[in-house]
Structure 1
Amino acid sequence: MKQGLVVDDSAVIRRVTGRILEMMGFDSTELDDGAKALDHCLAAMPDAILLDWNMPNVDTIELLRKLRRVPGGNQCKILFVVTENDPMLIGRALRAGADDILLKPYDHHAVQEKFEELGLIERQAQAS
C-alpha cells in the first residue's frame, strides 16, 4: 500500500486530509510539526507528502529542502499546501523541491486531481 504523510498544525485539516488519502488507497500518517515529519521521513520516506506552508517553529521552505536530501526524498511527491495564491511563495516552494501546490480549502476531488497529475494514482474515468 502506498504511504501518505500529512503535515499540518491543524488537527481538523490533518484528520480530513488523512481520510481523503485513505479513500484513495493510501495508508496515511498525520503529523503536526516539521521536526516530526523529518524524523518520520528519515525512518521511512512516504510516497506522498502534503506539507502545510504555515506551521509554528519551522521554516517550511527549509524543511522542504531537507526532505529532498533525505534518502528516497527525490522519489517522494510533495504537495506544498498554501492558503493564498502568492506567486513569490509558490515560486520559492517549487524551487526548493515541491512538485506542485494545493490551495486551501481543498476537497477530495482537488487532492485526487493533483495525485493523478503527479502519477500517484491512476486517472479516473470522467462521468459523461
Structure 2
Amino acid sequence: MRRCLVIDDSQVVRKVARRILTDAGFLVGEAVTGAEGLAICSQEMPEIIIVDSLLPDADSIDLISKLNSLNPEKPPFIIYCTHELKVAQIMRAKRAGAKGHMLKPFVRQQVLDCFRSFDELVEAS
C-alpha cells in the first residue's frame, strides 16, 4: 500500500486530506509540526509527503530540503501546499525538492490530479 504523510498544523486540512487519500487507497499518516514530520520520516519514509507552507515550528522550504536529504538515492515525492499563489515561494519549494504544489482549500479532484503525477513518475521509472 502506498504511504503518504500530511504535515500541516490545521486539523481540518489533515482530516480532509486523510479522507480523500484513504479513499484513493493510501495509508495516511499525519504530523502537526515540521519536527514531528521529520521524526516520522527519519523512521520510515513515505512515498509522498504534503508539506504546508506555514508551519508553526519550521520553515517549509528548509523542511523540504531536510526531507529530501534523508534518502538522497530515493527522495520522497513532496507536494508543497499553500493558500496563496506566490510563484516565487513555489519556485523556492521546487528548487528545494518539491515535485508539485497544491492550493488550499483543495478539493478531491485537485488532490487526485496531483497524485496522478506521482503515479506517472513511478510508472516512468
Do both share a fold (TM > 0.5)? yes
Aligned residues: 122
Change (3 A) 1:89 1:119: same
Aligned position for 2:59: 59
Aligned position for 1:92: 92
3-state DSSP class of the match of 2:46? coil
Matched, 1:44 2:57: no
Give the conservation status (yes or no) of the 8 Å contact 2:35–2:57.
no
Compare the two structures and name the one with the higher helix fraction.
2
**CA–CA separation in structure 1 for the residues paired with 2:75 and 2:59:** 22
TM-score (norm 1): 0.89
Gaps of 5+ in 2: none
**CA–CA separation in structure 1 for the residues paired with 2:120 and 2:41:** 18
What is the 5 A alignment of 1:70-89?
A: 70-71=70-71, 74-89=74-89
**CA–CA separation in structure 2 for the residues paired with 1:29 and 1:103:** 20
Change (3 A) 1:121 1:98: closer
Letter in structure 2 aligned against 1:112: L
Give how far 1:120 is off.
6.5
Deviates further, 112-121 or 62-71: 112-121
Give the conservation status (yes or no) of the 8 Å contact 2:4–2:29.
yes
Aligned position for 1:7: 7
Aligned position for 2:116: 116
Query: Per-residue displacement from partner, 1:14-71 (whole Å, max 9, x unpaired)?
Result: 1111111101100101110000100100100001111100111211111100000002
How many percent identity over aligned positions? Answer: 35
3-state DSSP class of the match of 2:119? coil
RMSD of the TM alignment (CA)? 1.8
When Rg is computed on C-alpha atoms for both structures, the one with the higher figure is 1
